Structures are given as C-alpha cells and as structure tokens.
Chains A and B, each alone.
Chain A
Amino acid sequence: MSADPAAMPPPHTANDDAPTGGGRSSALLTAHRAGLLGCRSCGRVWPEDAMECARCQAPLTPPDRRGLQAVWAWLIAGMIFYIPANLMPMMTTQSLGGLGGGGDATIIGGVLQLANHGDWFIAIVVFAASVMVPIGKFVAIIWLALVAGKPATEADAHNRLHIYEIVEFIGRWSMIDVFVVAILSALVQLGFVVSIKPGPAAASFALSVAFTMLSAQSFDPRLIWRGLPLHRRKE
C-alpha cells in the first residue's frame, strides 16, 4: 500500500524500460515495473489500461490488497471448521455389532492410539497430514496475507513465492485423512462383524481443507511482486 504511491509516478518510464530492460541477471523485471498487467487466467500481460484479456476474455484486474479480504474470509472459515474437526470423532468403528468394542476416534486420539500400538511411522504420517500441514498452511497463509504487497527485497519476494507455491502444492494432501476415512467407510462395511462410519469431524475437516485451499487460491501472487520497489533503486 505504502509502496504504491511512491511507485506510481514512474510507470511511464518503466513502461519505456520494459521492452528495453533486458538485464534480468542483475535486476528483476516485473510486469508492474514494466507497466503491464498480467492476466490471472492465462498469464499474458497487457497494457495496464486493458480491461479484458484479448486471449482468454478474462477480466483484467490489477493486484489489490483489498482482494486479500477473500483470503482472510476463506482462511477464517477454514480455521473455524478446523476446531470441530479436531474435537469430534473422525471415524466410528464398530466390531461384532458393538460387542467387540469400537468407538469414536478423533484425529489426535487416532494418532495417539497408533503411537501406543507402536506404529510410529503411520502415526507420524497421519499427524503430519492432519495436524502439521493444516496448521502450517494457516500460518503460511496468514503470513503471506500480512506481508503481501508490503515493501520487500527481491530475496523476500522469492521466499514468499516459494512459500506460496508450497502452500498451493501441499494443500490438497491434507485431504489424505478424508480420503482414508472415505475409503475405509466404503470398504469396511462387513455388517455385524466390522463397520466403519465417518464421524462429523470428517466433514468438518474436509470443509476446513477446502476453505484453506480456496483461501490459497484467492491469494493473488502478483501482490508478492508489488512489494518490490518500482525502480531498481539499488542499481
């Protein structure tokens, strides 16, 4: 935000620089610096006053920190659903019609049970996928949303981009728990002998993951580059 007023006056010059500024090894040329606007749909850059991508007909919107509202909104919704996902049972097992025991297992409860049985590897995998990844994602998105668009060095910008990419990539893997529950519930339906049913936490968890994915999707990575000064001041 604060970077923009300073960055605003020179776009014309930057515009002029863009076709000529080929020194990529020494300085980073962003679309913003070049006075161009990237299409979020297909990636083609257009002059800043273009209103529609002539290639994919997507509307062209300049990166704006106000767009972060969606990030925050989805993120908060995801976090809200993450709470019941942890408190309520993920999976209800019943063996021998309830005679052979069974019961409800929350995520952490399941992890502890696995650890108690000595299945450390699986426990760690489940813990990583169900606890560490979602929470790491929340933290990463919050951090990105906070710092996006703020002044940064190029190295910072690269870091933020990496983190954004990691979040984007890893987001879907959080669904591993939901998949496990879905597959088990579908496969282990032996009637009286054993049956597994998804608990309310499964839906919450799925919603939480979906919302965080939407949150990451709403994040406009162009904001990462907006944080760079318009001119290569160091040069």
Chain B
Amino acid sequence: MSDDTTPRPAHPARRTAARAARASFSLIWLVPILALAVTLGLAWNAYSGRGELISVTFRDATGIVPGETTLKFREITVGEVEAVRFTDDLRSVEVDIRTEPEVTPYIDADAEFWIVRPVVSAQGISRLDTVLSGVFIEGFWDADRGEPATEFVGLDRPTLARLSGEGTWITLSSPGAKGLAEGAPVTFRGLEVGRMQNLHLSEEDETVLADVFIEAPHDQRLTTSTVFWDTSGFSVSLGAQGLSLNVDSLSKLVQGGVAFSTMATGGQPVEAGHVFDLQPDEETARTSLFGSSDRDLRLTMLASNDVSGLQTNADVTFDGLVIGRVTEIGVDFDETRPEDEQILQRITFVIAPDRLGVPASSTREEMLEFLQDRVEAGLRSRITSSGFLGTSMVVELLEQPRASDATLDIDAEPYPVMPSLPPEVSDLGASAEGLMDRLGGLNFEELLQSATNMMDAVTQLAASPDTRAIPGALRETLDEARLAVADVQAMTGELRDAGAAANLARMLDEAAQAAEAVQLAAADVPQMVEQMDEAAEAIEDFRFDEISAQASAILADLRAMLGTEDAEQLPRNLSDTLEAASGLLNDLRDGNAAGSLNATLDSARVAADEVAQAAETLPALSERFQRLAARAEAAVATYGENGAFTNDARTMIRELTRAAAAFGSLSRTIERNPRAFILGR
C-alpha cells in the first residue's frame, strides 16, 4: 500500500489519488451491495407472493400438465398445477396446486374442485374452449373464511351450485328413474329454473332420489304444496276433443326433465333438502295435491264390501268437479251394527273445502258445520264408476234431497263419517253381453230366404214377355222409321220433280211438333230409368233386415215401370210421329203440294235438328240401362258365384243389357244420320 509513497518524495497529487482510491473503496462496493439487496428483495417478493400448496385428489388426471394447467375460480386463474402424482394405493392421482395468496384464505374445507373438459351431451356442447387451451381445474368456494384445508377430493363433474350460486337444494323422490337424468332441466311454466344431478338409490327404500338445484329467485316459488311431475318423452291422450299428442321440448324428449308448479296456496316455505315426490304426469300431480294443505278435510265413508275396484288416489268428485282424492281404504268392523253390516269398507278421502263453496277464511269447525248442514239437506257420498269404459271407480258426493235422514258423524274417529248411498256401478261386461245377445237374435236364414225370393221375382220379371217385347218394339219402330224415310225420300223426289208444295211448310211444322213429342217421350224415359236406378241402388245396399221390404218395392217398381204407359209410349210415339209424317207425305204426294222450297228446306233442317236432339237423349237412356244392369250384377255378385239364384239373376241382367243395347243401337242409328231420318239421304 505504501509502496508508491515510500520510494518517492511526498507528492500532493499522489496523496490525493491515494485518498481518492481509498474513498472509492467504500463507494464502489455499494453497487454489489445494492444488487444483492435488490435480488434478495425480488426473491423474497417472489417467495412471499407464493400461495399455499393444496392437493386435490382426482380419479384421473386427464389433460393435466404440471406448470401449465391452471386453477380457475369464476374463470380467473388463481393457481397453477405444480405436480401430479399417484396416491399411495395407485387408485387416483393427487394434483398439487399452488394457489394465489389472495384466494388462499377462502379455500376452506367446503371448497370443491373439478376438471373442466369439453362436454358433448344432450344438453349441448360445452367448454369447447378447453379443446384449444387444454383442460383446467375449476374451483368453487364461498366467501367465508373457514378452517383452512389443503387436502381435497376432486369432483367428477361440476356441482350445480356454481351455476348461479344462489338457490335451494331439494330432493326428488320417484319410484323409477323415468324423467330423471343427470343434468336434466327442471322447468317452471316451461322456463328452466334448475337442474338435477346426483341420481342415486335411496338407502331406506327402493325409490330413486335426485338432487335438484332451483336457482334463486325461482326457489321462492317452492312451498310444501309444490308438486313435481315428469315431463320427459311424449304422451298421447284420447279424449272428447280428439287425439292429442303432447311433446315438451326436444331436449326433454331425449334426456328427460321435470316441471313443477305450486297449484295450491297455503304451503310453507321449504327448507333445503325437502323431499318432493315426482308424479308421473301433471294430472296426477294436480290430484296429489289434495291433502297437502292444512285446510283440507279428511272424511270417511262406509261402503258395503261388494264394490271392488276403488283404489287410493281415486278422485272424489262433486258435480263432476274433482274436489279431493281417496287416501285410504280399510276395513271397519263394528259389532253394534246389524249382522250383515258388521264388516264394511272404510274409505277415507280428503277434500278441499274451498271447492265445495266453503269460505276460504273459515275454520275447521265452521267447515264441518257447513258440511253438516249440507248433509242434512241431502249431501251423500257414494261409490260410482266413471271413465270411458266405466271401469274406474270414484267417490261421488251428490245431493239427494229425498234421501233418508242422516247426519255427519263429526265425532267419529279418526275422521268424521259421511253418510253414504248404495254404490252405482255400471258394468261394462253386462252391456257387452247384451249387445252380443241382440246380435245373436238376428234371423239370418229368414233374411236370406227373403232375398232369394226377391231375386226370383226379379228374374221372372226379366223373363216376362213384356220385358222382352221392349227391344222388339223398338226394332219395329226403327223399321217403320226406315219406311218413313223411304217415303220421305220418295216424296222429296217428287217434290224435286213437281216443285215446292204450298203446304210443305205447315207439314214440316207438324213434323217438328212430332219430333218435339218424341223428345218429350224421351224425357220420360230417363225418369223411368231413374226409378230403375233407385231400385238397383236399393238392391246394391240392401240390408238383411230391410231386404224383404226393399225387394218387394223393387219388384213393384220394376213392374210399374215396365207397365207404365211411358215405356210403351216411346215406340208408340215414334210410330205415331212417323205415321203422321208418312200420312203427311202421302197427302203431299196426293195433293202435289208446292211452295217456297227454301223455307221448306230450312224448316226441314230445324225439324231434323230437333230429331237429333231427341235422339241424343237416347244414348243416355241406354247408358242408364247399362248402369242399371251393372248395379244389378254387382248386387248379384255379392251373393257369390254359384246357385240357381245367381244364374237367374244373370239371365235377367243379360236381358236388361240386351234391352239397353237395343236402345243404344237405335240411338246410334239416329245419331249417325239424323237427317236421313227425315230426308232419306
């Protein structure tokens, strides 16, 4: 140190430098000291900022990566997984999580942890973000600083409580798991207000229990008179309004769900963990309500033992209105009663007095008093059958003013006894038997005999000469028409030779009138055919019990039809017309009548047109004949292929067909060349 100074004479500058060096001794060392202080400060900061290490046990550690997987509380990262290891028995994994100091005080024994993974279920797809970001552990704890804990057991799935935080837990009890499903929605008037989870079998009995979480503020709607019913799947009901298919939401169809409603007032607020029974449907849920209210009255009626089929939960009706339900059916034994009434059915039922018209504010005594008055006025109970087939039994309260005097036994134990009437049971079996008896009493053989007779008569009619004469007459008419045409032809020739005759026009007017007469006659024919139609229809849809009468009627109709002048008149009219025409022509020929040829020919055209018009109705006529024949055939066909009756009927029908064909050919002839009918060309 003194090396520099000793050999040299003292030098002010040197001394200053040495002093400066000595002075810098302390100053420069401040740098590492400061550095150390800063580093240590940082280290201490980091160390003290570290939270607690907690360890959560999961069944498996799917997707958990130490140092990356985070712990989140309400979607904010509040910790990080530090290590994953097996438990000693290798049955599960322990995840060590370093939590942030600010939340650490809240993580007490009631904290819950679960792993958030993407979920695809009937409720939809959720947490898809974790596909990208990787799973994370979610924790939930309340704001109370409880006893700190470091060992936790992770849940398999998130608890429902975290959905909103506030709400009420209740328990649903159901005989089966229908409608219950993990996470299935619970709705109130169709609005989802909660979910269920943790389905398990009851330890005491065989029911299925499910924890249901109803979110606030909807949990305020829960009272002890709240009912839950299953809304899963769909229901089909057949009623007076027709068939109705009820489907709730699609998700409920798939996964189930329940709904609840508070249908009666007066229930008490429920405590957490209250057990509700799940009813199979809304209707049952409604009726199950009777008896849940404190105001409901329990009454007993005694009935003879010969009524079976009444079950508990059966309706109690008053004027068709359901006012209660049967709660208990037992046996009542009383030696003081007459011998055959010592053992009676004791039916206990509960009614809502409000529905009977009792004021809502009345006390139990007032209600009983009211009932007492009504009983004295004739209010009675009885068992009666109800339902579509009359198979279900209900208890009916009815007013029977003429009933023998009775009183409401208010003091009876356990419940007041209401006087009863004998049961009114309609037996479906008995009425079905009566129907079968009536069916069996029908005389089928007689009916068949009548039908055969009727068809015989039809055959006879068809075979009768009168019927057969129709086509012949028609043919004759046709022949005469042809003759007339020849005459007309000849006359025309003469006309051409001799020039127009003076009264030709008048003659043709007459011809036109004649044609009109033909038309009128033809108009009658359809009417006649219609009668045949009706007859055929009657044949077609004959009934066994009506067949005799109708058969007679049809025969009479047929006879009348064939006997009418109308039928005969048709050919006659035609012949008359033609005769008149030929006579006229003869006159013309004889008188050498001449006149205005043009006018004559015009009139002739008009006449011919009218003839054509008349002839047009003929095809329709023949068609009707054919239809009649076809119907008759169809009617006959119902009798089967064999038998003399069938053959006879066939023959008749063939005749009818032939007659129709004759009509047809006549009409066709006229149709084909109506002018030739007049002019002969």
Chain A interface residues toward B at CB < 8 A? 1, 4-5, 8-9, 49, 51, 59, 61-62, 64, 66-67, 69-70, 73-74, 76-78, 80-81, 83-84, 88, 96, 98-101, 103, 200, 204, 207, 211
Q: Which residues of B contact A101 (CB under 8 A)?
A: 68, 133-134
Task: Contact check, B25 vs A66: say whether CB atoms are below 8 A apart.
Answer: yes
Residue numbers in A under 8 Å from B191 (CB-CB): none
Residues of chain A lying within 8 A (CB to CB) of residue B132: 96, 99-100
B71 to chain A, nearest CB (A): 14
Q: Judging by beta carbons under 8 Å apart, are A103 and B31 in contact?
A: no
Bound form: Cα–Cα A83–B22 in Å: 30
Main secondary structure of the interface of A (DSSP, over half): helix
Q: Decide: A8 near B7, CB < 8 A? Known: A64-B21, A70-B24.
A: yes
Asked if B599 is an interface residue, CB under 8 A from chain A, the answer is no
Q: Which of B22, B28, B42, B133 makes the CB contact (< 8 A) with A84?
A: B42
Given contacts A51-B13, A99-B129, contact A1 B32 (CB under 8 A): no
Contacts of B34 in A (CB 8 A): 77
CB closest chain-A residue, reference B34: A77
**Out of A49, A81, A84, which one reaches B11, CB within 8 Å?**
A49
Residues from chain B with a CB closer than 8 A to the CB of A64 are: 4, 21
Chain B residues, CB < 8 A from A83: 39
Beyond A81-B39, A98-B133, A101-B133, is A4–B3 a contact (Cβ under 8 Å)?
Answer: yes
A64 to B43, CA, bound (A): 37
Apart from A4-B3, A66-B25, A73-B29, what 10 extra A-B contacts exist at CB < 8 Å?
Answer: A62-B4, A62-B17, A64-B21, A69-B24, A73-B32, A77-B31, A80-B35, A83-B39, A84-B43, A96-B132
> In B1-39, which residues have CB < 8 Å from any A CB?
1, 3-4, 6-7, 11, 13, 17, 21-22, 24-25, 28-29, 31-32, 34-36, 38-39
CB < 8 Å neighbour of B7 from A9, A96, A207: A9
What residue of chain B has the Cβ atom nearest to residue A8's Cβ? Answer: B7
A211/B3 in contact, CB under 8 A: no
Point out which of B1, B6, B31, B134 has the most chain A C-beta atoms below 10 A from its C-beta: B31
Chain A hits for B146, CB < 8 A: none
Given contacts A80-B32, A83-B39, contact A1 B3 (CB under 8 A): yes
The bracket for how many chain B residues form the interface is 20 to 34
Give chain A nearest CB distance to B1 CB in angstroms: 8
Chain B residues contacting A70 (CB-CB under 8 Å) are 24, 28
Within 8 A of A (CB), among B43-57: 43, 46
Contact: B32 with A77, CB < 8 Å?
Answer: yes
Closest 7 CB pairs of A and B: A99-B133, A77-B35, A76-B32, A77-B32, A51-B13, A8-B7, A80-B35
- On whether the beta carbons of B35 and A211 are closer than 8 Å, the reply is yes
Contact A200 B42 (CB under 8 A): yes
Say whether B563 faces chain A, with CB atoms less than 8 Å apart.
no
| A189 to B123 alpha-carbon distance, docked (Å) | 38
Tell me if B148 is interfacial: C-beta within 8 Å of chain A.
no
| Cβ–Cβ < 8 Å partners of B101 in chain A | none
Does B176 lie at the interface of the complex (its beta carbon under 8 Å from any beta carbon of A)? no
Minimal Cβ-Cβ distance residue in B for A98: B133
- B638 CB, nearest partner CB in chain A, Å: 81
Q: With A and B bound together, what is the CA distance between A204 and B46 in angstroms?
A: 15
User: In the assembly, what is the distance between CA of A84 and CA of B134, in Å?
Assistant: 30
Q: Which B residues are CB-close (under 8 A) to A78?
A: 35
> Is the Cβ of B39 less than 8 Å from the Cβ of A80?
yes
- Tell me whether B31 and A211 are in contact (CB under 8 A): yes
A44 and B340 alpha carbons, distance in the complex (Å): 145
A149, B17: Cα distance in complex, Å: 18
Q: Is B190 an interface residue (CB 8 A)?
A: no
Cα–Cα, bound, A80→B17 (Å): 30
Please name the residue on chain A nearest to B2 by beta carbon.
A5
CA distance A211 to B6 in the complex (A): 35
**B390 on interface, CB distance cutoff 8 Å:** no
Contact between B29 and A5, CB atoms less than 8 A apart: no
Determine the residue in chain A with the shortest Cβ distance to B35: A77
The answer to whether A69 and B43 have CB atoms under 8 Å apart is no
Distance of A13 Cα from B26 Cα, bound (Å): 37
Residues of B within 8 A of A (CB): 1, 3-4, 6-7, 11, 13, 17, 21-22, 24-25, 28-29, 31-32, 34-36, 38-39, 42-43, 46, 67-68, 129, 132-134
Shortest distance from the beta carbon of A153 to any chain B beta carbon, whole Å: 22
Set of chain B residues within 8 Å of A77, measured between Cβ atoms:
31-32, 34-36
- Provide a sorted-by-A list of 30 A–B residue pairs whose CB atoms are within 8 angstroms: A1-B3, A5-B3, A9-B7, A49-B11, A61-B17, A62-B17, A64-B4, A64-B21, A66-B25, A67-B21, A69-B29, A70-B28, A73-B29, A73-B31, A73-B32, A76-B35, A77-B31, A77-B32, A77-B34, A78-B35, A81-B38, A84-B39, A96-B132, A98-B133, A99-B129, A99-B132, A100-B133, A101-B133, A204-B39, A211-B35
Contacts of B35 in A (CB 8 A): 76-78, 80-81, 207, 211
Give the distance in Å from the alpha carbon of A73 to the alpha carbon of B26 in the complex. 10
Least Cβ distance of A106 to chain B in Å?
12
What's the Cα separation between A128 and B31 when bound, in Å? Answer: 27
CA of A1 to CA of B132, assembled, Å: 67
| Interchain CA distance A100-B68 in the complex, whole Å | 11
Give A79 to B36 CA distance when docked, in angstroms. 10
Residue from A9, A69, A76 within 8 A of B25 (CB atoms) = A69
Docked pose: A199 CA to B62 CA in angstroms: 30
* Bound Cα distance A73, B6 (Å): 28
Per the bound structure, the CA–CA distance linking A101 and B70 in Å amounts to 11
By the criterion CB–CB under 8 Å, are B36 and A80 in contact? yes
Q: Which residue of A lies closest to B134 (CB)?
A: A101
Do B31 and A74 have beta carbons less than 8 Å apart? yes
The distance from the CB of A80 to the nearest CB of chain B, in whole angstroms, is 4
A69 close to B28 (CB less than 8 A): yes
Q: What residues of chain A lie closer than 8 Å to B7, measured between beta carbons? A: 8-9
B65's nearest neighbour on chain A, judged by CB, is: A101
Report the separation of the CA atoms of residues A98 and B17 in the bound assembly, to the nearest whole angstrom. Answer: 59
Asked whether A73 and B28 contact (CB < 8 A) given A51-B13, A84-B39, A84-B43, the answer is yes
Residues of B within 8 A of A103 (CB): 67-68
Q: How far is the CA of A211 from the CA of B22 in the complex (A)?
A: 21
Query: Distance in Å from the Cβ of A54 to the closest Cβ of chain B?
Result: 14
CA distance A49 to B25 in the complex (A): 24
A5 to chain B, nearest CB (A): 6
Distance in angstroms between the alpha carbons of A66 and B134 in the assembled complex: 59
Report whether A66 and B39 are in contact in the complex, using a CB–CB cutoff of 8 Å: no
Cβ distance B11 to chain A, nearest Cβ, rounded Å: 7
- Nearest B residue to A67 via CB reads B21
Q: Which B residues are in CB contact (< 8 Å) with A84?
A: 39, 42-43
A185 to chain B, nearest CB (A): 20
Collect the chain B residues with CB atoms within 8 Å of residue A98's CB. Answer: 133
Contacts of A4 in B (CB 8 A): 3-4
Q: How far is the CA of A81 from the CA of B129 in the complex (A)?
A: 40
**Which residues of A sit under 8 angstroms from B13, Cβ to Cβ?**
51
CB distance from A70 to the nearest CB of B (A): 5
| Cα–Cα distance between A147 and B394 once the two chains are bound (Å) | 115
When distances are taken between beta carbons in the complex, the residues of chain B under 8 Å from A76 are 32, 35
B residues in contact with A66, CB < 8 Å? 1, 21-22, 25
How far, in Å, is B30 (CB) from chain A's closest CB?
8
Q: Tell me the smallest distance from the CB of A39 to a CB of chain B, in Å.
A: 14
Min Cβ gap B216→A in Å is 32
CB nearest to A73 among chain B residues: B28
Q: Which residue of A lies closest to B70 (CB)?
A: A98
* B4 contacts across to A, CB distance below 8 A: 4, 62, 64
Chain A nearest CB, measured from B233 CB (Å): 39
- Measured CA separation A8–B4 after assembly (Å): 8
Q: In the complex, what distance in Å separates the CA atom of A103 from the CA atom of B70?
A: 11
CA distance A103 to B43 in the complex (A): 20
Q: Which chain A residues lie closer than 8 Å to B6 at the CB level?
A: 8
* CB neighbours of B11 from chain A (8 A): 49
Complex CA distance for A16 and B328, rounded to whole angstroms: 136
Which of B3, B43, B46 interacts with A8 by CB under 8 Å? B3
Which residue of B is nearest A59, CB measured?
B17
| Bound complex: CA A69 to CA B269 (Å) | 83
Give the distance to chain B from A109, nearest Cβ to Cβ, in Å: 10
